[in-house]
A and B are shown apart, each in its own frame.
Chain A
Amino acid sequence: MDLKLDHRTEDRLTIVEVEGEIDVYTAPRLRELLIDLVNKGNFHLLVNMEKVDFLDSTGLGVLVGGLKRVRAHDGSLELVCTQERILKIFRITGLTKVFGIYASVEEAKEAHGRDK
């Protein structure tokens, strides 16, 4: 399955919806979107990965790159993910310590609201 990307902004939080496979072939599209969002002043990003079928280290690299970019603006990049097979790769690489990972968009929005 190819990669589908969409985004919307609610309050100060930009929600990026990702669907499909994030790998060496498709990851550049996600990277471009994250860079574009940051360049347009969106510094608080929430990437919803609930519809991601596959994620490899290239995709992880793109997410870490996005995190570095938003942090340079005192922003945040957090994730929504409950799929064990996707969470496993975050655990293997230790990235569960780096990203805020939530069970739903609503939960992430509540946490984001508390931090404001």
Chain B
Amino acid sequence: MATVELTFSALPAHVRTARLVATAIARRTGVAEALLDEVRLAVGEACSRAVEAHRLHCPGEPIRIELKDDSGRFEVTVTDAAPSDDLKAVDSSDGYRLVDAMLGIVPEMPGLGIAVIAGLADDVEVSPGPTGVKIRMSWPATPTPNGLAAV
């Protein structure tokens, strides 16, 4: 099992870096090209949510992202250290229910990112805890002997 860990401070500019790193490692792990856009978007959503939560509650704390090649799956875990207010605001399992809510309240609807992740990754686990939220996502990967995806 190969693991890459990255920690970054809660700045929006770093989300792009996290997306780039995750996409590069997903490709190397053997995630199909057709899924790389989903990986990029889902990891970006998880990191954006964490950055917004940290900026609100604990701007000095870093956000951690762990990227694992785990027996035929590429697994990403984003861990923050902020309270999980947004997870109570919506039912993340159904993005369609968000539409009316979005038009009714603030435009930057909390929880929308989680709904997007749920719609993108086939395996998602959101674990709110007393010390923060952990979002684990995974995608199928087919490693090759040299560590590069089959073309």
A interface with B by C-beta (< 8 Å): 21, 23-25, 54, 56-58, 60-62, 64-68, 85, 89, 92-95, 97-98
Residues of chain A with a CB closer than 8 A to B102's CB: 61, 64, 98
Dominant secondary structure of chain B at its interface with chain A: helix
Q: How far is the CA of A60 from the CA of B99 in the complex (A)?
A: 11
Other than A64-B102, A93-B115, give 15 A-B pairs with Cβ distance below 8 A. A23-B15, A24-B51, A56-B41, A56-B45, A56-B48, A56-B116, A57-B48, A57-B112, A64-B109, A65-B108, A92-B95, A92-B120, A93-B98, A94-B97, A98-B99
Interchain CB contact under 8 A, A56 and B113: yes
Given A58-B48, A97-B99: A24 touches B12 (CB 8 Å cut-off): yes
Interchain CB contact under 8 A, A89 and B41: yes
Q: How far is the CA of A24 from the CA of B112 in the complex (A)?
A: 13
Give a binary string over B14-56; 1 marks a CB under 8 Å from any A CB, 0 the rest. Answer: 0110000000000000000000010011001100100110000
